[in-house]
Structure 1
Amino acid sequence: MAYLDLYSGPWTIAEANHLLRRTSFGCSQDTLNEALNLGLSGTISKLFEVNPMPEPPLKYEFDGDERDEVNDPDANYGETWVNAPAYPTLPTQQETNKAVRARNRSLYAWSFIQMQESGISIREKLTLFWHNHFVSVNTNPHREFYYINTLRENALGNFKELTKLITIDPNMLVYLSGNQNTNAAPNENYARELLELFTLGKGEAVGNGDYTNYTEDDIVAIAKILTGWRVKSLLDPDTLTPIFSNFNHTKGSKTLSHRFNNAVIEENGEDEYKDLIDIIFQQEECSKFIVRQFYKWFVNSEISDDIELNVIAPLANNLKANNYEIAPVLKTLLSSNHFFESTFCMIKSPIDLMLSVTKSLLFSGPTATIKEQYDYALVLYSACYDLNQDLFHHPDVAGWKAYYQSPLFYKSWVNSFLLPKRLDYCRIIVTGGDLVIDDITYTIPPLIPVLTIASKIENATDPNVLIKSLSKLLFNYEVSDEQVVSLKEFLIPGLPDFEWTVEYSEYLADNTNTTLVISVDKKLRSLISIMVQMSEFQIM
């Protein structure tokens, strides 16, 4: 049976869980049931549905003079700030900075809300993939939103066309110095990363300035091809539209090296960068390069010679045959025998981990007001930042180490410093408590509705059934009988099974009895808080 043959094994909660965890961010019992009813083919189709774009982020903090309030008169509470001037003009620099930072917080919280509410859809997971692939760090929320929106709009689309859009994206032009790239002083920053990190990879050094996939002379020539692009001042109303200055563009034809078959890029003004990208995407290595990135993101960090031959190469051929449309290739990979054999080999990223808790356990932060909703989403953002996955602020242009740094790869997410935090943050989401990040204390109430979760489990009066059902939801398989015995110590410490059966049955018969409600809630919360700290919950 070939690696990429359509998976023909059983379609159970384990397979649905595996697919949904890898392609989205955790899943609830209801989502799993929906996937089970849809079957593999139906779930894949739903994952790749093109849904309407989300409404933009909102201003969620109040205007005022208090220390914890902001003054941003260009945007009203509950409305988006995206249409306001990119750089608010306020009486003092301090007030301006405060308004900009408030918009930053809104964007970061909103991004977590999108992931939390994504349902059966691969778009948010792919948006995060492209965010880690086309790394672009900035501090202006408008440019950040424009950039991430470009990634989201094109997440399921065409790799070549997305590369063209990102090349002249204002956020990217500023981040990798394209904004400073002129005929008088060509800047090679973006040219180098375009080849090394975005499209081809460097390859092995085979000579002085000569690598498997390109040469240093190609960097020089490509920098000249890309000259002339500009980003207007933040004070300009049109600051989010890149502009081309023919005066600052290097004129004449540019010749690439033998690595590109000595291709000649003719003078073509503001469309010259497109001609360059078309040439890069003709290289055989380009399709293999991006397929390897997809493989590391969705399947496994280890790519053996066998995987290179039987998975990477045929998918790369498929990608090139489809003119770099990514959906057909990913559907093939995610529906394959090989994908469903590649389980328990990935340590969850901080974002995957935190959202596995919230989505699997029906987390519902306070939603009475927009401010409450955004405040709690910002707590998730802050926790992930503290666990070394800072959305919008990668450690460097290569992205998060877990997806490129050999031999650790995913193990980068856990060490003696990070692992205790990972476990503690998972616990606090279930039990409530104080979460301390950068000397700021966030007091989290117990927001996981443990009673509702238990109510969805048939025969939850049996503690063995309860624990095994929860393990199927939280892990990818049932726990062993020995583990069940150990876990019962957190549900009914030192007591026989019937004690739980009696108490839970009494609660079901009278859920208005406050004493019973508190007691059952406490026992369930104790059990689940331990389960989300188990090693089985850390992997997927």
Structure 2
Amino acid sequence: MEYFVNCNTSTLAPYTTPLDKYRAAHLYRRLGFSASVQTIDQAVGQTAGNLVNSLINEAVNMAPTPAPAWADWNNSNYPADDDLAGQVRRAQREEWRISYTNDLLNNNLRERLSFFWSNHFVTELDVYDCNSFLYYYVNCLQRNAIGNFRTFVSEIGLTSAMLYYLDGVYNNGNNPNENYARELYELFSLGEGNGYTEQDIIETAKALTGYVERGEIGCEQVLFDPTRFDAGPKTILGQTGNWNYDDVINILFQERPNEIAGFICQKLYEYFVHPDSSDDAGNAQTIISGMASTFIANNFEIAPVLAQLFSSQHFFDDEAIGVIIKSPFDIYLSLINETNFAYDNGTLLNVIDTSRLLGQELFDPVDVAGWQRNRTWINTNFMIGRWLSAEVYLEMFYQNNPQQFRTLAMDAVGGANSNTSNPETVVTAIVDKITPKGLLTPQDFENAMSVFKIEDVPENYYGSDYIPGGLGLWMLSVSPEVPSQVFLLLMHLSRQPEFQLK
């Protein structure tokens, strides 16, 4: 697959042209996991600023996923028998994975962001191994996803999931553990080697001591023990005092605002706009600098930065569309949303399992640096897996209800064409729906047309606007062959390079 060089030279100035389908679909592919024909149609004609503000307000005001019944369980709540306890734990994890995947599918920007932050403030369920910790970790991601980044950094570091994952629970005053201090700077706020020293890590670790009270039962929320805290003086980022956890966060944001803003805005840019933000990547560094200025001016509130970016000419530039390789979750959730096909919890479990096989295990990124995204999703094995799995989903949807394939086509062409006899109208609409920029060449489109025009339908049955003298006996809304034609077209398109992009 071609590697996309970032040639986008547009600015952060507002994009004021009313949105067409092409750019509305781009917005929803990036801000959520795509959207149905109906949602895109409702967005057409709106200004980017108004639609983005609406999606941001929705995200800001959205309540976290309700707590499951087991949110505050510790080990004493599970059966004494280890096998039974294991079954209960696995059932709880399955329940929560389904719930969160359903959120990803339906919650647009809020869940796109919580998913992004789960790959920034990384923890691994396999390491901390407690369902209660998982719930409170995800709750923290959701509550802070589009809130204040400084608050986010402070709160995430005291979740039990993070304290266990990065050894904070073993960070005693008389024997500091430097693991969390290192990742706080290197991965969570500043970037590797950017504005801190090894001595800063050593001194910061001392200030973070004391969050070591783990209880005696197991799977209990971690508490602060003042007797295990190093109360002596520390020098952190040039500031000396008897610093504690809160002081570390204060000093970090007071002394390194530019470094924090630059690092976080670059990650946001590479995730939402283009994976290439290098110095020679179009206008990327100028855009990131502008975002960083907005971040600092708004006291590290996330929403103003995203509002500026998502409504900008840079975001809607043609060079920004169709240049990010879909993650596994992107492939399957976007397919469900774009087709509007019926799904159930079993479908979502299949999404979770298939994504895991293709390198994206929910709540278990590969390591503390997270999934590295984009080109790392593509290798020989993964590519074949992406093709075959997409076909399995389409076959499953077809077996469940063939007529929903006709409905997709009728929705895609629009009401005025819902009874068209022109196959080109149908193929164009579906290609445009499930690929960000259509197919690359006219021959690629002709190949798609050939797949759609199955032998069961004589050529002259297509309408006169497509074939002079055609009888128009084939009609989208009634011809019995339509569901299988749409199914075969989607099977073909799922193997095209353009399907892998967003």
Question: Shorter-normalised TM-score: what interval?
Answer: 0.7 to 0.9
Deviation at 1:230, TM superposition (A): 2.7
Specify the alignment match of 1:207 in structure 2. Answer: none
Gap change, CA 1:12 and 1:134, over 3 Å in 2: same
Task: Work out whether residues 321 and 437 of structure 2, in 8 Å CA contact, stay in contact via their aligned partners in 1.
Answer: no
Return the alpha-carbon distance in structure 1 between the equivalents of residues 310 and 266 of structure 2. Answer: 14
Find the partner of 1:374 among 324, 339, 345: 345
Specify the alignment match of 1:406 in structure 2. Answer: none
Specify the alignment match of 1:297 in structure 2. Answer: 271
Specify the alignment match of 2:407 in structure 1. Answer: 452
Specify the alignment match of 1:89 in structure 2. Answer: 78
Deviation at 1:7, TM superposition (A): 1.5
Deviation at 1:86, TM superposition (A): 5.9
Deviation at 1:504, TM superposition (A): 4.2
Return the alpha-carbon distance in structure 2 between the equivalents of residues 446 and 431 of structure 1. Answer: 10
Specify the alignment match of 1:127 in structure 2. Answer: 114
Return the alpha-carbon distance in structure 2 between the equivalents of residues 151 and 395 of structure 1. Answer: 19
Return the alpha-carbon distance in structure 2 between the equivalents of residues 497 and 463 of structure 1. Answer: 10
Task: Work out whether residues 115 and 124 of structure 1, in 8 Å CA contact, stay in contact via their aligned partners in 2.
Answer: yes
Specify the alignment match of 1:65 in structure 2. Answer: none
**Bigger CA drift: 285-294 or 31-40?**
31-40
Find the partner of 1:38 among 42, 46, 58: 46
Q: Deviations over 1:256-292 (max 9, x none)?
A: 2xxx2x212434xxxx212111211231211101001
Return the alpha-carbon distance in structure 2 between the equivalents of residues 415 and 454 of structure 1. Answer: 32
Deviation at 1:308, TM superposition (A): 5.5
- Secondary structure class of the residue paired with 1:264: strand
Gap change, CA 1:301 and 1:95, over 3 Å in 2: same
Specify the alignment match of 1:102 in structure 2. Answer: 91
Deviation at 1:478, TM superposition (A): 4.0
- Secondary structure class of the residue paired with 1:417: helix
Find the partner of 2:309 among 325, 329, 333: 333
In the TM superposition, 1:156-167 aligns within 5 A as: 156-167=146-157
Return the alpha-carbon distance in structure 2 between the equivalents of residues 464 and 231 of structure 1. Answer: 67
| Counterpart residue identity of residue 451, structure 1 | R
Specify the alignment match of 2:468 in structure 1. Answer: none
| Counterpart residue identity of residue 51, structure 1 | N
Specify the alignment match of 1:352 in structure 2. Answer: 330
Q: Tell me the matched-pair count.
A: 468
Specify the alignment match of 1:249 in structure 2. Answer: 229
| Counterpart residue identity of residue 138, structure 2 | I
Return the alpha-carbon distance in structure 1 between the equivalents of residues 117 and 84 of structure 2. Answer: 33
Gap change, CA 1:189 and 1:156, over 3 Å in 2: same
Gap change, CA 1:231 and 1:12, over 3 Å in 2: farther
Specify the alignment match of 2:63 in structure 1. Answer: 53
Return the alpha-carbon distance in structure 2 between the equivalents of residues 503 and 430 of structure 1. Answer: 27
- Secondary structure class of the residue paired with 1:305: coil
Deviation at 1:445, TM superposition (A): 4.5
Gap change, CA 1:153 and 1:213, over 3 Å in 2: same
Gap change, CA 1:92 and 1:504, over 3 Å in 2: farther
Specify the alignment match of 1:76 in structure 2. Answer: none
Specify the alignment match of 1:313 in structure 2. Answer: 289
Specify the alignment match of 2:251 in structure 1. Answer: 279
Gap change, CA 1:304 and 1:374, over 3 Å in 2: same
Return the alpha-carbon distance in structure 1 between the equivalents of residues 448 and 284 of structure 2. Answer: 42
Specify the alignment match of 1:394 in structure 2. Answer: 365
Q: Which structure's relative contact order is higher, taking Cα pairs within 8 Å and 6+ residues apart?
A: 2
| Counterpart residue identity of residue 171, structure 2 | N
Gap change, CA 1:93 and 1:5, over 3 Å in 2: same
| Counterpart residue identity of residue 246, structure 1 | P
Task: Work out whether residues 86 and 234 of structure 1, in 8 Å CA contact, stay in contact via their aligned partners in 2.
Answer: no
| Counterpart residue identity of residue 427, structure 2 | I
Gap change, CA 1:355 and 1:504, over 3 Å in 2: farther
Find the partner of 1:343 among 304, 321, 339: 321
- Secondary structure class of the residue paired with 1:122: helix
Q: Deviations over 1:165-209 (max 9, x none)?
A: 011111100110001100121001100000000000123xxxxxx
Task: Work out whether residues 270 and 276 of structure 2, in 8 Å CA contact, stay in contact via their aligned partners in 1.
Answer: yes
Return the alpha-carbon distance in structure 1 between the equivalents of residues 452 and 361 of structure 2. Answer: 35
Task: Work out whether residues 183 and 249 of structure 1, in 8 Å CA contact, stay in contact via their aligned partners in 2.
Answer: yes
Task: Work out whether residues 132 and 400 of structure 1, in 8 Å CA contact, stay in contact via their aligned partners in 2.
Answer: yes
Q: Deviations over 1:349-396 (max 9, x none)?
A: 11111111111011212xxxxxxx333211111111111011100110
The gaps in structure 2 that reach 5 residues or longer are 1-8, 464-471
Q: Deviations over 1:403-424 (max 9, x none)?
A: xxxxxxx110011100011111
Specify the alignment match of 1:62 in structure 2. Answer: none
Gap change, CA 1:234 and 1:89, over 3 Å in 2: farther
Find the partner of 1:472 among 432, 445, 450: 432
Task: Work out whether residues 88 and 100 of structure 1, in 8 Å CA contact, stay in contact via their aligned partners in 2.
Answer: no
- Secondary structure class of the residue paired with 1:281: helix
Q: Output the TM-score relative to the length of structure 1.
A: 0.82
Q: Deviations over 1:208-254 (max 9, x none)?
A: xxxx42111111101100000035348479x23x4111100001221
Return the alpha-carbon distance in structure 2 between the equivalents of residues 251 and 447 of structure 1. Answer: 68
Return the alpha-carbon distance in structure 2 between the equivalents of residues 315 and 249 of structure 1. Answer: 38
The gaps in structure 1 that reach 5 residues or longer are 59-79, 204-211, 366-372, 403-409, 434-442, 510-515
| Counterpart residue identity of residue 227, structure 1 | T
Q: Deviations over 1:61-102 (max 9, x none)?
A: xxxxxxxxxxxxxxxxxxx43355565331411100110011
**Bigger CA drift: 524-533 or 285-294?**
524-533
The percent identity for this pair of structures is 29
Specify the alignment match of 2:11 in structure 1. Answer: 3
Return the alpha-carbon distance in structure 1 between the equivalents of residues 473 and 171 of structure 2. Answer: 71
In the TM superposition, 1:219-230 aligns within 5 A as: 219-230=201-212
Specify the alignment match of 2:184 in structure 1. Answer: 194
| Counterpart residue identity of residue 223, structure 2 | I
- Secondary structure class of the residue paired with 1:127: helix
Return the alpha-carbon distance in structure 1 between the equivalents of residues 218 and 382 of structure 2. Answer: 43
Deviation at 1:485, TM superposition (A): 2.2
Return the alpha-carbon distance in structure 2 between the equivalents of residues 106 and 47 of structure 1. Answer: 27
Give me the CA root mean square deviation.
2.4
Specify the alignment match of 2:421 in structure 1. Answer: 461
| Counterpart residue identity of residue 295, structure 1 | Y
Corresponding position: 1:522 with 2:484: yes
Task: Work out whether residues 431 and 526 of structure 1, in 8 Å CA contact, stay in contact via their aligned partners in 2.
Answer: no
| Counterpart residue identity of residue 137, structure 1 | E
Task: Work out whether residues 178 and 205 of structure 2, in 8 Å CA contact, stay in contact via their aligned partners in 1.
Answer: yes
Task: Work out whether residues 97 and 362 of structure 2, in 8 Å CA contact, stay in contact via their aligned partners in 1.
Answer: yes
Return the alpha-carbon distance in structure 2 between the equivalents of residues 498 and 474 of structure 1. Answer: 28
Return the alpha-carbon distance in structure 2 between the equivalents of residues 448 and 158 of structure 1. Answer: 46
Return the alpha-carbon distance in structure 1 between the equivalents of residues 354 and 401 of structure 2. Answer: 16
